[in-house]
Amino acid sequence: MNVIRNILNSRSDKNGNFFSKIQKILNFKPRNIKPYEKAFTHRSLNLKDHKGNAVNFERLEFLGDAMLSSVIAAHLFKEVPEGNEGYLTKMRAKVVSRKHLNELGKDLKLIELVKTNIPKSQFGINIHGNLFEALIGAIYLDRGFVYCERFIKEAVIDPYVDIESLEGQIISYKSLLIEWCQKEKKVFNYEVYEDTGRDEMKHFAVKLWIDEKVIAKARATSKKKAEEKASKRAYFAFQSKINI
């Protein structure tokens, strides 16, 4: 009776439209809509439950990240029996990279479901991946691991996980370049400084030095992005020498 009551409650006029959109994304009916509502609630609303705990998607994001990693790890373990621990770890990182999760969240148009007190145009790109992970966390709470695994298989593994293609993907040019420099005993340094340009947003510029020579320069809205952009340019300069 409780299960039936949950379904009827979740399909009330108030939540019916949201329920229909979630069901379309999941390809199955939620039993309890509450976890999904929380998965699309932004912290800007400052909502609290009856115990005073924050009600937003951030804890579900943590749970979804763990579920996603475990399902992808199990899939790779089964599909690549010859892969060692290091290989499997790198392959999993490529599947669950922030860039890939953001693309998945954007494809599903998850941001359209977010309840927030700030304009959605002000969100950073990572909101898409965060919502995708929160959605997976909500599925786990609602229907358990089996449904969670099924959704990840349909939404991630079947359409996107191709072992041969993944092997050729680079998820971090900086990590790749540092690994190569250490292997070749080259001295490298990222010289980062605040850019004094006239952009509305603060920018950072970086010079990448290798063996006392400036190999690449870049600028971006964060130090991390600037370093990654400079690393990518340096990678293409040394591509013939770097063994991926």
Please report the DSSP string for 21-51 in residue order: HHHHHHTS--S-SHHHHHHTB-GGG--B-TT
Is 191 among the residues known to form the active site? no
Q: Are 192 and 204 in contact (CB under 8 A)?
A: yes
- Most distant CA pair in the chain, distance: 72
Q: CA of 209: how far to CAs of 5, 112, 170, 231, in Å?
A: 64, 43, 21, 10
Let me know: does 199 contact 216? Beta carbons within 8 Å. Answer: no
Q: Of 37, 133, 142, 228, which is the active-site residue?
A: 133
Q: Position 68: which residue type?
A: L
65 counts as catalytic? yes
Pick the catalytic residue from 65, 142, 149, 228.
65
Could you give the residue numbers annotated as active site? 65, 133
